[in-house]
């Protein structure tokens, strides 16, 4: 049948299973918006900023496992999407962004609102297209969806000129099937690599599984749990891996990395085998690479060959879909118990327990950790099926530490790019994906102000999300670094804001405020009872600190630890709390020494202990790809 290019866009989206898109109209995309009126099957969500559209598409994709779609016009509309696209790229989130472009004859003339958005987004997309003819629209969109969700998922941008949208051509869905002869997303490891991996697993004395987001992408939670149970192997999770292994699972030690659990980081450094499943050894996980797990052999199961040996040399690389690889390994994994290894780990757990802020009595102060812990307790007591979407900063780390995620896709956060302003729009996208679930936004007062305009989107759409602002009147994580490493020179980190309760009311939404721990429960209950979006201003301690912390450049187990209970700063004395460096000068001494060492160029640092001899880094097996099938579900192993 003969259709305009604009109509073909919507025909393709419907055939790809799209029922909601997030966008903002403009001149170069106007033909597509006009054609949209013929396709009521697709609900359009009018955002207040194009960055919000990409975050909403991202949140939708992470909550549902489907491809999210964002639409914008040319020039500033397209460039406003770049941060959201980069966020999705870093966290392997499958979104398709469709942008309008000036007419094909005007390209290169610096026409009004012309920007080379395909050039701009090359580094932050999995692939992108510039379409100048209506005949090419269907194939570009079909390939965009296939690329976005296959292999290691990621964002794809399709830039379509205005005249391509206006002109007509014959539309043939079948003939527009993807043709990507050079794209090989579905690889398989050689049998010899499986044998090497099994030998390491079956002979290890101190093995440890590193569980990343790739488990979620592959749908391999059951297989990972079976591996852990059969060989009694403890599991450490990455930030984006939270929820893929239930927090209540006896094998789950908790989060690793810069702000991970102390005993988890120590276990990594003491292990003799690391089994990395769908994670990429990024800097927030490893600490100083020169001192990272020096005595451990390493197995890396990863769908993206470019991630293998990129940061950490490994002994065995198994390239392919995580679930399929584990299904191949499991029958040959020997049952064992590792009692001495577990005893060592549990000893570290006991030391950390006495440092936990939750062990302290209520002194009248409201700490962010209290808010997160109580929010988790109340929602789980009520048996609410909850998705938490966090922004970036201190509150993000407290959420990761104190909210116990039992299900996959129950935590959505910006891990790789660390995008402030992500939470509110991503939560709106998640709510559209899962309208039956309670969606909570956990956000700082700084990040919230970056995209608070999307409250208007929530109000116009009549959807309900609960916004918990952790309001400490600082850009908290930056302030913490200034406290530790810049002698408390708080340059540009104190931040003011509006009255968040009145701001919510200005958007015809509900606003609440809480500044006492005893009021947290009643405040949460009021939020849950409301029908509209609720904004809660949790006024917490200003100079609170995320513990533990691995300073940049330090070894993974060289952490700044929370002081033990007998010297805790949270004593109810504001003076003590505001002066931690002078009250406990030794707490930060090692971290400051690390910072001085890193900044001293030309000075020889002390040589680290000589690592145990390891085998040459494994190279991914060069094997033919299995035939790619366009309808195959997305698979990836990431973080």
Which positions are annotated as active-site residues? 50, 112-113, 162, 477
Q: Which of 383, 346, 321, 374 is nearest to 153 (CA)?
A: 321
Residues 6+ apart with CB under 8 A from 48: 24, 453, 454, 456, 457
CA distances from 192 to 24, 188, 316, 331 (A): 52, 12, 10, 16
| Contact assessment for residue 521 and residue 378, using Cβ atoms and an 8 Å cutoff | yes
| Contact assessment for residue 634 and residue 150, using Cβ atoms and an 8 Å cutoff | yes
Strand pairing class (20-23; 235-237) = unpaired
Tokens 């959201």 — which residue? 84
Return the bridge partners of 158, or none: 98, 129
Task: Say how many CA atoms lie within 13 Å of 331 toward its Cβ.
Answer: 4
**Phi/psi at 620 (5° precision):** -60, 140
Strand pairing class (168-170; 2-4) = antiparallel
Whole-angstrom Cα distance, residue 49 to residue 509? 20
Strand pairing class (316-319; 438-444) = unpaired
CA 100 to chain CA centroid, nearest Å: 28
- Reduced to 3 states (helix: H, G, I; strand: E, B; else coil), residue 243 is coil
Rounded to a whole number, what is the distance in angstroms from the first to the last CA of the chain? 45
CA distances from 208 to 302, 311, 313, 345, 472 (A): 17, 19, 17, 11, 37
Whole-angstrom Cα distance, residue 273 to residue 260? 19
Structural tokens at position 62: 């992470």
CA 75 to chain CA centroid, nearest Å: 28
Torsion of CA 403, 299, 331, 338, to 10 degrees: -70
Whole-angstrom Cα distance, residue 511 to residue 535? 5
CA distances from 371 to 353, 471, 521, 623 (A): 19, 11, 9, 51
Tokens 């949270």 — which residue? 570
Torsion of CA 475, 371, 412, 230, to 10 degrees: 130
* DSSP state, residue 602: T
């Amino acid at each position: 049948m003969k259709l305009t290019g604009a109509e073909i866009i919507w025909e393709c989206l419907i055939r790809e299973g799209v029922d909601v898109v997030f966008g903002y109209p403009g001149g170069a995309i106007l033909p597509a918006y006009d054609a949209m009126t013929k396709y009521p099957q697709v609900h359009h969500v009018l955002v207040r900023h194009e960055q919000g559209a990409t975050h909403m598409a991202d949140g939708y994709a992470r909550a549902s496992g489907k491809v999210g779609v964002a639409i914008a016009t040319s020039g500033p509309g397209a460039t406003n999407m770049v941060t959201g696209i980069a966020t999705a790229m870093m966290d392997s989130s499958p979104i398709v962004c469709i942008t309008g472009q000036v007419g094909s004859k005007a390209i290169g003339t610096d026409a009004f609102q012309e920007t080379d958005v395909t050039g701009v987004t090359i580094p932050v997309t999995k692939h992108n297209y510039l379409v100048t003819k209506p005949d090419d629209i269907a194939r570009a969109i079909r390939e965009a969806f296939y690329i976005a969700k296959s292999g290691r998922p990621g964002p794809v941008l399709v830039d379509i000129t205005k005249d391509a949208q206006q002109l007509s051509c014959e539309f043939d869905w079948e003939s527009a099937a993807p043709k990507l002869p050079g794209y090989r997303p579905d690889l398989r490891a050689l049998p010899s690599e499986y044998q090497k991996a099994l030998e390491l697993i079956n002979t290890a004395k101190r093995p440890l599984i590193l569980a990343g987001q790739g488990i979620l992408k592959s749908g391999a939670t059951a297989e990972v749990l079976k591996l852990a149970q059969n060989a009694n192997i403890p599991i450490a999770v990455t930030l984006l891996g939270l929820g893929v292994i239930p927090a209540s699972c006896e094998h789950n030690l908790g989060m690793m990395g810069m702000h991970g659990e102390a005993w988890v980081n120590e276990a990594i450094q003491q292990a003799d085998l690391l089994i990395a499943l769908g994670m990429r050894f990024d800097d927030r996980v490893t600490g100083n690479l020169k001192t990272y797990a020096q005595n451990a052999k390493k197995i890396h199961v990863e769908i993206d060959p470019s991630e293998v040996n990129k940061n950490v040399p490994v002994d065995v690389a198994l390239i392919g879909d995580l679930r399929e690889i584990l299904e191949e390994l499991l029958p040959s994994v020997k049952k064992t118990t590792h009692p001495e290894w577990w005893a060592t780990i549990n000893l570290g757990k006991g030391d950390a327990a006495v440092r936990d802020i939750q062990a302290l009595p209520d002194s009248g102060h409201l700490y962010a950790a209290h808010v997160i812990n109580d929010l988790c307790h109340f929602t789980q007591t009520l048996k609410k099926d909850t998705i938490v979407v966090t922004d970036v900063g201190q509150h993000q780390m407290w959420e990761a530490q104190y909210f116990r995620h039992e299900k996959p896709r129950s935590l959505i956060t910006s891990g790789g790019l660390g995008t402030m302003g992500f939470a509110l729009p991503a939560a709106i996208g998640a709510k559209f994906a899962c309208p039956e679930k309670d969606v909570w936004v956990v956000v700082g007062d700084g990040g919230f102000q970056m995209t608070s305009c999307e409250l208007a989107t929530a109000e116009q759409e009549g959807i309900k999300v609960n916004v918990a602002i952790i309001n400490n009147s600082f850009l908290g994580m930056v302030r913490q670094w200034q406290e530790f490493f810049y002698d408390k020179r708080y340059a540009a980190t104190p931040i003011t804001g509006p009255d968040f309760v009145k701001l919510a009311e200005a958007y015809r939404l509900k606003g609440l405020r809480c500044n006492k721990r005893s009021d947290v429960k009643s405040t949460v209950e009021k939020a849950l009872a409301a029908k509209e979006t609720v904004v809660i201003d949790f006024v917490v301690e200003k100079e609170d600190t995320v513990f533990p912390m691995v300073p940049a450049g330090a070894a993974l187990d060289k952490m700044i630890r929370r002081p033990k209970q007998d010297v805790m700063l949270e004593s109810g004395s504001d003076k003590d709390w505001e002066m931690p460096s002078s009250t406990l000068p030794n707490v930060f001494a090692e971290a400051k020494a690390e910072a001085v060492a890193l900044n001293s160029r030309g000075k020889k640092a002390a040589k680290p202990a000589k690592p145990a001899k390891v085998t040459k880094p494994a190279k991914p097996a060069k094997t033919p790809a299995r035939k790619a099938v366009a309808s195959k579900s997305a698979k990836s192993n990431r973080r």
